[in-house]
Amino acid sequence: MEPMRRPGDPPTGYESGFIKESALLSEPTIESALFGVTLQWNSKSIHEFVRVANTERIDNQPPVWMSQPRGHITEQVLKSDVMAYLAGVSGGLTRENDLAPNTLQQHWNITKRFAHIEDEDFVQACMARLGPGAYFAAVLVRFEGPGFGAQPACFMPPPRPKRQVFL
């Protein structure tokens, strides 16, 4: 190991070689990436969830992001409430099943919101009364820059006995 140098000392042989090699590399480029999130709603599960949420005895209160009280929740209201809750941390346009464009940080925050929804006691109590394999929506992550693409989000399921709400 070489001794430490003082300011102004000439570069060592290793440092000189490293500097020459680095000079051959191209200039650094900064590319931005934009992310979109698309939800493919599971109509059957949404219908059953709404039925359970409105009619069955659930000890837990609906989450604060739900705009309607029990007995008045519709499929459209549930989807709109989910999208509005996600849109609170997104950066672009919000449509019935789409949030775009978003920066990487906004995308992470949207992902956290999916987990918040999934972790709600009321949501879990209703999901527990649905058949196996029920879920709100499959989530696709779209990306742009450079190039375009989309892929499933592939969220990790929550620990048992909790049910996965978003795939």
Mean pLDDT of all residues in the chain?
87
The single residue listed with the structure tokens 């209201």 is: 77
β-bridge mates for residue 100, sequence order: 93
Please state whether the predicted TM-score (pTM) of the whole model is above 0.85: no
What backbone torsions phi and psi does residue 35 show, to the nearest 5 degrees?
-120, 140
Residue 99 is encoded by which pair of tokens? 């949030």
* pLDDT tens sequence across 147-158: 788 899 999 999
User: Distance (Å, rounded) from C-alpha 58 to C-alpha 129?
Assistant: 10
Whether residue 28 is contained in a domain is answered as: no
The single residue listed with the structure tokens 């604060």 is: 64
End-to-end CA distance of the chain: 52
Whether residue 161 is contained in a domain is answered as: no
User: Distance (Å, rounded) from C-alpha 59 to C-alpha 57?
Assistant: 6
Q: Is residue 28 predicted with pLDDT exceeding 60? A: no
Whether residue 57 is contained in a domain is answered as: yes
Whether residue 105 is contained in a domain is answered as: yes
Whether residue 64 is contained in a domain is answered as: yes
Domain around 106? 34-152
The tally of domains found in the chain comes to 1
The pLDDT value recorded for residue 29 is 52
Whether residue 15 is contained in a domain is answered as: no
Whether residue 2 is contained in a domain is answered as: no
Q: In what order do the strands lie in the sheet with 98-102?
A: 93-94, 98-102, 34-41, 137-144, 148-152
Residue 82 burial (C-beta neighbours within 10 Å; 0-12, 13-18, 19+): buried
* pLDDT tens sequence across 92-119: 888 889 999 888 899 999 999 999 999 9
